[in-house]
Structure 1
Amino acid sequence: MVDVSDKSVTTRIATATARFETRSDVVARIMTGNLPKGEALATARVAGILAAKRTSDLIPLCHPLPISQVVIDFEAQDGAIVISATVKTTSQTGVEMEALTAASVAALTIYDMVKAVDKSAVI
């Protein structure tokens, strides 16, 4: 791991996005929660938050950080859902990996919940 002990403690914010592509009718089902496995967006939001908190357990050499906020947002587009993950900390190192992990796991969660209705969906 990189030694960050000489760095100043500052507020740090990072945002990452992921794009989940599927059919337009499936986007509508995602937005209304009408999927066989249930409400995809709420599940993906919680999964993304949990992923941000566990990033140092998943990615070698990432520092464990005191995360003060994680916000996961979803934007419906024609044939896609755009996932945005914003992570905030007051620490000696940034939260870029936490934001990337949160967006990725949220997208993976949506994929898992959609795969039964659209086998061609992609992240």
Structure 2
Amino acid sequence: MERAGDGLTHFNEQGRARMVDISDKAVTARVAVAEGRVVMAPETLRRIREGAIAKGDVLAVAQIAGIQAAKKTSDWIPMCHPLPLTGVDIRFSDDGTNTLTITAEVKTTGRTGVEMEALTAVTAAALTVYDMCKAVQKDIIIDAVKLLAKTGGKNGDYIGLAEQQES
């Protein structure tokens, strides 16, 4: 079994999981952008856009859920460090037919990145859309949750393949 000194940073010398020590990492500005899709019937998307879902303003509630989730990521993901976030922005767009796209941008100045916070924000926002619309449609699909880009840190910047092709 590989140990901490063998390249696997999330295991101690006994081969047990540990939270990585980031004490010696440089404090840098870090940003991560993630995206996910919620696919639904055209009628459901129309009702979201028109504010005709009985539980209320779906996008407003999903936006708040995404922000809250980003702030609480370390409560959900065991090896994530609790981070002081400096910004969280949740945006929505749709294709006019049946797909709502959720994008989250999360920022911090710290010793570790915010990729997990951005992914968690998108996922929580998507789950909230489902929760608010499940009385209208049960077979809503949440998919394509992915990291689009990240900046900062010792590993440098990352831009997803699809975003590279658009550039």
- Structure-1-length-normalised TM-score: 0.97
- Which letter maps to 2:134? K
- For structure 1, the residue ranges without an aligned partner over 5 or more in a row are none
Q: What is the root-mean-square deviation in Å for CA atoms of aligned residues? A: 0.7
Q: Percent identity, aligned pairs only?
A: 54
Name the larger-Rg structure: 2
Q: Does structure 1 residue 32 correspond to structure 2 residue 50?
A: yes
Q: Is residue 2:116 matched to residue 1:97?
A: yes
Residues in 2 aligned to 1:32 and 1:96: alpha-carbon distance in whole angstroms: 32
How far off its partner does 1:67 sit? Answer: 0.1
Q: Which secondary structure state, in structure 2, belongs to the residue aligned with residue 88 of structure 1?
A: strand
In the TM superposition, what is the alpha-carbon distance from 1:24 to its structure 2 partner? 1.3
| Contact residue 31 and residue 76 of structure 1 kept, 8 A | no
CA distance in 2, matches of 1:33, 1:107: 17
User: What's the TM-score, normalizing by structure 2?
Assistant: 0.72
Task: Identify the residue that residue 18 of structure 1 maps to in structure 2.
Answer: 36
Cα distance in 2, alignment partners of residues 31 and 7 from structure 1? 44
The structure 2 residue matched to 1:73, chosen from 91, 99, 103, is: 91
AA aligned opposite 2:82: P
Q: Which residue of 2 aligns with 1:110?
A: 129
Q: Which sections of structure 2, spanning at least 5 residues, go unmatched?
A: 1-18, 143-167
Amino acid at match of 1:53: K
Larger helix percent? 1
Count of aligned pairs? 123
Which amino acid in the other structure matches residue 32 of structure 2?
A
Q: Deviation above 6 Å: which 4+ runs of structure 1? A: none
SS at structure 1 position matched to 2:141: coil
Q: Which residue of 2 aligns with 1:121?
A: 140
Distance in 1 separating the partners of 2:99 and 2:60: 17
How much does 1:32 deviate? Answer: 2.1
Provide the residue aligned with 2:78 in structure 1.
Answer: 60
